[in-house]
Homo-oligomer: A and B are copies of this chain.
Amino acid sequence: MMWNQTGVTQLLGITYPIVQAGMAGVSSPSIVAEVSNAGCLGTLGASYMSPQDITSAIKDIQALTDKPFAVNLFVTQRAIVFSPELQKMQTELAPFRIELELTEPDAIDFEWYDLTQQVQAVVDAGVKIISFTFGIPSADIVTMLHEAGVTIIGTATTVKEAVMIEDAGFHIVVAQGMEAGGHRASFASEDELAVQVGLMSLVPQMVDQVGVPVIAAGGIMDGRSIVAALALGAQGVQLGSAFLLTDESSAVEAYKKALLDTNDESTIVTKLFSGKPARVIANRFTKVLHSLEDNVPAFPLQNTLTSDIRKMAAVVGDTDLMSLYAGQSSCLGRELSARELIDTLVSEVATNQFQYHDASDQN
């Protein structure tokens, strides 16, 4: 089978089965459009956006490309606000605010956008591909998407989650290996922080158990890992860190430099930035607050609490206090345009040619 003629390329209407992960906050309309224009799938990470902002961003993308692209949304409930826990966390965060010359916000806005309204904005704008993180939306939403002819992509960190996603009527599942940067998509594990399956183990077990095509994510940075993922049985790959480093991503320069300065031991999985486990580059923020790991307010509360600190740290380029979402292979990234990166990946895949036939037995 040709790698660019798989179920994934056909379902998504793309030339190469390479997906740019929907990185909320850094997936600008220009990176989404550039990736799609280059024959791959761009993804708008829209989880933290209002329905109105989603509509507007989609219009911006549509002005830049007539190729298919996706929108990614989180499946989460609004967390219940438990005041003493929040106040305790604010006390712990106070020294960082002093350092960044921030004052603790008088009122924290814990508004969380309604998923149905976010999905409706995506459908109304004519987007035909949607991907979900943190689980499976209501049957009503899935039915609405089926009726609108939208291709649905789910994200699974275990085989069990993949089976649940297929059973819910999704068309494609992303296998998120423990190598992946950013939020762990886990939604059906007893201990989301503990269950970490390497991509080398996850993909073959998943493709054996589900009928829908599998896209591999986690540690995919160059032609080597793309070929490896395809050999394991994936029909496509999803890259986050690799696209974070492209010219079109909204990641600040200090973040890009930090990504390239990592090694294989630089990242950890922590709930400290958002309340949900995410792979980040360990920094002073995660080290100082490490002992609080088991007492972090639930997502998205912690995400809101740390928001002013993370944003100001990014403005001043202070990587000690930024949320440096990053995969285990970030140092293999290249600073190119999105199109140059894709051209490079396609070329690397074509030339990664071990000959697996037995040299001593030409049958």
Contacts and interface: CB of A to CB of B under 8 A. Distances in A.
Interface in A106-127: none
Contacts of A331: 205
A165 interface: no
A38 interface: no
A93 interface: no
A288 interface: no
B264 A189 contact: no
A232 interface: yes
A231 B219 CA distance: 14
B201 A329 contact: yes
> By CB atoms of chain B within 10 A, which of A199, A201, A202 has the most?
A201
A222 B204 CA distance: 9
B228 A200 contact: yes
Contacts of A360: 4, 15
A199 B196 contact: no
Nearest to A190: B265
A194 interface: yes
A282 to B, nearest CB: 10
Given A15-B360, A329-B205, A1 B354 contact: yes
Given A197-B264, A219-B198, A263-B159, A350 B356 contact: yes
A179 interface: yes
A220 B221 CA distance: 21
A18 B199 CA distance: 21
A298 interface: no
A225 interface: yes
A332 B264 contact: no
Interface residues of A, number: 61
Interface of A: 1-5, 15, 158-160, 177-179, 189, 194-202, 204-206, 208, 218-222, 224-225, 227-233, 263-265, 268, 327-329, 331-332, 346, 349-350, 352-360
A355 B1 CA distance: 6
B356 A352 contact: yes
A194 B4 CA distance: 38
A197 B1 CA distance: 31
A224 to B, nearest CB: 5
Given A219-B200, A231-B231, A264 B1 contact: no
B200 A225 contact: yes
A359 B195 CA distance: 38
Contacts of A225: 200, 204, 231-232
Q: Which 8 A-B pairs have the closest CB atoms?
A: A201-B328, A198-B198, A228-B228, A200-B219, A2-B359, A227-B231, A179-B198, A201-B219
A87 to B, nearest CB: 29
A358 B200 CA distance: 25
Nearest to A359: B2
B196 A178 contact: yes
A200 B227 contact: no
B329 A346 contact: no
Contacts of A353: 356
A189 B265 contact: yes
A335 to B, nearest CB: 17
Nearest to A15: B360
A160 B265 contact: yes
A327 B205 CA distance: 13
A205 B263 contact: yes
